[in-house]
Amino acid sequence: MADGNGSAAPSVWSTDFRRVFREVEGKPVFGMLVAADDKRSEEREERLTQATASIPGAILWFLLATLVITVMALGICLPRRNNRGQVITLVVITALLTTTLCIIRDVDRPFGGIIDIEPTAISEIERQATRDYLANHTAADLPCDDRGNRKNI
């Protein structure tokens, strides 16, 4: 998701869930299963929305080009002698503006980079679903491996 791409595996799982839901329709557990599936789906959609960059790459490249042109123009305008203060100021301003651009890019892509938001909501739902499943089945009965890929039975 750090690259803005989601996995197709949850969609396959949702189809399997809904097939099982038809089998238990009308039973007491049906409402609980539908509510859990809806919550899982909402959390996934929210995470996909958050993972999608809202600032296009072209704008970031434009800002970077503007920064380079500005720094070069200011560098050219510096006096040739006795310019230690001006050079230090130019370096500090360049570092601040570059850091600002990096922070903007990192905040815009929260699931990768320095700021890395953990998938706590999805992980909690996964933990609850695994707990509920293992309460009635053994670990050998799981329909997928530890990476989420469907086992061929």
Domain extents in the chain: 9-53+118-141, 57-108
- Phi then psi for residue 116, to 5 deg, are -125, 100
Cα 6 versus chain centre, distance? 9
What pTM, to 2 d.p., does this model score?
Answer: 0.49
Tell me the mean pLDDT in the region 78-96: 91
The per-residue pLDDT for 39 is 81
User: In this structure, which amino acid lies at residue 137?
Assistant: H
Q: Which is nearest to 91 in space by CA: 82, 105, 78?
A: 78
Percentage of residues in the chain having pLDDT higher than 70: 66
Confidence of residue 69 (pLDDT cuts 50, 70, 90): very high
Is pLDDT above 90 for 91? Answer: yes
CA gap 39, 47 in Å, rounded: 12
